[in-house]
Amino acid sequence: MVLIPAIDIINGKCVRLTQGDYSQQKIYREHPLEVAKEFEAAGIERLHLVDLDGAKAGAVQNWKVLEEIATHTKLVIDFGGGIKTESDLNIVFNSGAALATIGSLAVKSPLVFSEWIANYGADKFLLGADVKGEKIAVSGWLETTEISVFDFMQQYIDRGMTQIFCTDISKDGKLEGPSLELYQKIITQFPTLHFIASGGVSCMEDLDALKAIGCSGVIVGKAIYEGKIKI
C-alpha cells in the first residue's frame, strides 16, 4: 500500500479544510515546496496536490505551485481542482503533473471525460469519487447526486480507468477514522482496481486497517500536519 500525502493549496499556501468547508480552513505552511521536499526526503514517492482555489473558481489557479514542486522534486504528482477544459488539462500536464485528478467533471460531463480518456489514455488520470452515504457528491461537496458510487466506478472502469480514490465526505478532516466498511465493499466488487482510500485517517492503526482490507494506496492530509502520523 502506497502512502500518498496531500497538499491542499489556497493562495499558494498549504492548508486543510474540514469537510470541504472553506470557512473552516487552517494554514499549516506558507511554502508547499518545502513540505513536498520534506516528504521526498523521508522516502515518499507520490503526492496528491489539490488546487482549492481552482476547485472554487472552476479553472486551474495554482499551477505555479505544481510547476515548482515538479521542477524541484522527483515526486509523482497527481493534481486536481478546477480542471474543466482541455486547456486546463494541458496546463496541468505541461506544469509537471503525472496524473490529472478528475472529480465533478466525470459526474457532470461524462462525454467530455470519456473523450479525454480516449485521447490521453486512462493512465493519465486519477478519478476521484466523493461520497455521502454511497452516493456521489459534486461541486465541492455542496451537492449530493442520486448516482451510486458503484455504478459511477463501473462506468469508468469499463472505459479503462485503473486508479480511483474515494473520499467519504462525512469523515474528511475530522480524524475519526476511515470508512473501512465502504472501502471493503468497493474492493470486493472491483478486485482488480488500484483503489486508494481518502478521508478520516487519524493514526497508524488506520493505515494498518486499510492495508489489511486490500487498499492499494491511501491519501493522508490532516493526520500528517497535526502530527498524528509521522512521515
Residue 53 appears among annotated catalytic residues: no
What's the sign of the alpha-carbon dihedral 9, 10, 16, 20?
negative
Spell out where 149-183 has E strands: 163-168
Active site residue 206: no
The amino acid at 166: C
- Please tell me which residue in 51, 53, 78, 130 is annotated as part of the active site: 130
- The size of the chain, in residues, is 231
Catalytic site residues? 8, 130
